Amino acid sequence: MPSLKSIRLDTSAMDNGVWLTFFTDPVTKKSIRVRIASMNSPNYTKSVQDLTRARRAEIKANGGNLPSASIEEIQRVAAGQALVTGWEGIENDQGEEIPFSREASVNFMLDRAYSEFYEWVIENAGTRERYREQTVALAAKN
């Protein structure tokens, strides 16, 4: 019989993120690793709420609704502010490592050229299994 441990979520991992590999270069073997928090984290919820509140005038002007482009922008900014909590191995075109910052994270999320990265972040942030205590404990051992 499964124990509660098998379904319990690691709230620290949900809030602070878990490390995942986005890409490994087959030639250099260098990897881009990203720490991703859960979409169920209070930080993400607060970010979406704050960004939505800041658009009250736009909501009122559109009959109580936001245009889909505005909703997408809110989601992308919130992902950069609250879902991506760290990274390593991201380099610019000159081969210099780009240090993690919320500002850089938001810029990546908003840049359509990096839509695949944004979609990967969203997919992983919404996967509950990543944040189960058992899964986090196993990942820490490897």
E strands within 1-121?
Answer: 18-24, 31-36, 84-88
pLDDT digit string, tens, across residues 23-73: 999 999 999 999 999 999 999 999 999 999 999 999 899 898 899 999 999
Phi, psi angles (nearest 5°) of residue 140: -65, -30
Query: What does the pLDDT read at residue 130?
Result: 84
- State both tokens at 9: 């979520």
Q: Is the pLDDT of residue 117 over 80?
A: yes
E strands within the chain?
Answer: 18-24, 31-36, 84-88
Indicate whether this model's pTM tops 0.85: yes
Confidence band for 140, pLDDT divided at 50, 70 and 90: low
- Mean pLDDT over the full length of the chain: 91
- State both tokens at 109: 């999320």
